[in-house]
Amino acid sequence: MTRTVRLILALGAIFVGGAAVSGCGSSIPGDAVAVVAGNPITQQALAHWGYVAAVGESEQSPGSPVIVPDPPNYTNCIASLKKIAPASYPAAELKTDCEAQFAQTLEYLIRADWVQGQAAAEGIKATPAEVQKQFDTAKQKEFKTPALFQEFLTETGQTQADILYRFRISVLSTKLASPAAIKAYYEKNIASYSTAKRLNVRIILTKTLSQALAAKAAIASHRTWLATAKQYSIDGATKDNGGLQVDVTNGEDPAALNAVIFSAPHLKLLGPIKSPFGYYVAEVTDIIPATTTSLQKATPTIKSTLANDALSSPPWEKTWKAKTTCRAGFEMADCSNYTAPKAAATTSSTATAGSTATSTSPAGTAVTPTTTTSK
């Protein structure tokens, strides 16, 4: 990995965005490719971040050209890809690849406007001082000298204002993860923060009642589970390890056995227990109680998740998609006037479905938002 790519990824946790959201309406100005609640995303902005994305893409494969998608026809993009694609590569896929990169770039420009719009609706602000503080901290950590930072900007096609804007979007995304939102997420996903009661248990399964009684008597007279299971058990999974089952959850074992062991005390010899498979002798060796991570302990992780979800899978997507209109030829999944193709190719459908970007997507290559003067 080159130093440039490392520097890009060092700041890659901050996403892209557009200018401040204001006004309403759905008309498309002459220089815009999309409008979010009245706020245009210009062709200039799309071209800028398409270029930054293409630079990042080329850095992943040293020596490869910088190919910028040029919607809606993608003439230059297709011609450039054709020069480097294998002869066997389907020609139709060239346009699909160009569309995918375009869709990822526009997706993040749109969604950053959604973040700003949602923040404004909730009365949330990111002050210049807050943004500057986060920027200064990251800059000092990642760049030893001002010259290295300037080199990073030059190599990635960005400006300091672009980077500051990305931090602004990050601050807003974090603030949108309010205590109420965190609590709602926790309650909705409580199963993810809980573990059920589990048991470690030893079992011996026999074909007949007399064999089960003999096995139980052997254990009761202090013969080892290892020797007894090898002699009597017909359970292939446990007969050679002393009948041991670990981390057994309620409902995992056959019903008859399950009912007994989950109501049994610790280290009591159980059985014979009749089942459709034969007769069990059992003993619970460990009881691991159910646990639940508290909201307080889960909060940092949830807050981080919600901040990332603000762009990757925003909870307010439906509301803001209804306020997003794209110019004909520039539609993608986040546009209210988008119609999904009936039989889309895999690469195209992935890119236009609002999926999380990979390291070669705008976010992964530090594609950053246009400043408020470039949209």
In tens, the pLDDT along 186-200 reads 999 999 999 999 999
| Residue at 373 is within a domain | no
Q: What value does the mean pLDDT take over residues 131-150?
A: 94
Q: Do residue 170 and residue 307 come from a single domain?
A: yes
Residue 11's pLDDT band, with cuts at 50, 70 and 90, is very low
Domain boundary among 240, 271, 289: 289
Distance CA 238, CA 282 (A): 12
Q: For residue 365, tell me if it sits in a domain.
A: no
Is residue 89, in this structure, part of any structural domain at all?
A: yes
Residue 360 has pLDDT above 60, yes or no: no
Q: What is the mean pLDDT of the chain?
A: 84
Residue 357 maps to a domain: no
pLDDT above 60: residue 166: yes
Are 122 and 176 found together in one domain?
yes
Q: What is the CATH number of the domain that holds 251?
A: 3.10.50.40
284 and 323 both lie in a single domain: no
Overall number of domains in the chain: 2
For the CA atoms of 67, 146, 126, 28, the dihedral, rounded to the nearest 10 degrees, stands at: -30
Give the confidence band of 248 by pLDDT, cuts at 50, 70, 90.
Answer: very high
Residues 104 and 237 in one domain: no
For residues 35 and 140, state if they share a domain. yes
Place 150 in a pLDDT band, splitting at 50, 70 and 90: very high
Residues 173 and 217 in one domain: no
- Domain final position from 237, 272, 289: 289
3-class SS string, the chain: CCHHHHHHHHCCCCCCCCCCCCCCCCCCCCCEEEEECCEEEEHHHHHHHHHHHHHHHHHHCCCCCCCCCCCCCCHHHHHHHHHHCCCCCCHHHHHHHHHHHHHHHHHHHHHHHHHHHHHHHCCCCCCHHHHHHHHHHHHHHHCCCHHHHHHHHHHHCCCHHHHHHHHHHHHHHHHHCCHHHHHHHHHHCHHHHEECCEEEEEEEEECCHHHHHHHHHHHHCCCCHHHHHHHHCCCCCCCCCCCEEEEEECCCCCHHHHHHHCCCCCCCEEEEEEECCEEEEEEEEEEECCEECCHHHHHHHHHHHHHHHHHHCCCCHHHHHCCEEECCCCCCCCCCCCCCCCCCCHHHHHHHCCCCCCCCCCCCCCCCCCCCCCC
pLDDT of 12 > 90? The answer is no
The phi, psi pair for 302, rounded to 5°, reads -65, -40
Residue 165 has pLDDT above 70, yes or no: yes
- In this prediction, residue 343 carries a pLDDT of 62
pLDDT of residue 363: 30
Query: Per mean pLDDT, which range of 1-10, 162-171, 192-201 is the poorest?
Result: 1-10
Which residue's structure tokens are 């459908």?
Answer: 349
Residue 38 has pLDDT above 80, yes or no: yes
Residues 96 and 43 occupy one common structural domain: yes
Which pLDDT score, from 0 to 100, does residue 39 have? Answer: 92
- Quick one: pLDDT at residue 227? 96
User: How many Å apart are CA 219 and CA 21, to the nearest integer?
Assistant: 74
User: Is residue 17 domain-resident?
Assistant: yes
Q: pLDDT-based confidence at 61, cuts 50/70/90? A: confident
Is residue 15 predicted with pLDDT exceeding 60? no
Give per-residue pLDDT as tens, 300-343: 999 999 998 898 889 889 999 999 999 999 999 999 999 988 76
Report the percentage of the chain scoring pLDDT > 70: 84
Q: Is 210 within a domain? A: yes
**Does residue 150 share a domain with residue 182?**
yes
Q: Do 170 and 244 fall into the same domain?
A: no
Domain boundary pick from 236, 264, 289: 289
Q: Are residues 92 and 151 in the same domain?
A: yes
Residues 122 and 28 in one domain: yes
Per-residue pLDDT, 27: 67
d(CA 99, CA 78): 10
- pLDDT tens digits for range 109-139: 999 999 999 999 999 999 999 999 999 999 9
Tokens encoding 234? 């017909």
**Best mean pLDDT range from 257-266, 333-342, 346-355:** 257-266
Residues 284 and 314 in one domain: no
Q: Which domain holds residue 238?
A: 197-289
Decide if 264 is inside a domain. Answer: yes
| C-alpha atoms less than 13 angstroms from C-alpha of 186 in its C-beta half-sphere | 20
Strand partners, 40: 35
The arithmetic mean of pLDDT across residues 262-275, rounded, is: 96
Q: Give the separation between CA 84 and CA 234, rounded to whole angstroms.
A: 62
Rounded Cα–Cα distance for residues 214 and 228 (Å): 9
The answer to whether residue 103 sits within a structural domain is yes
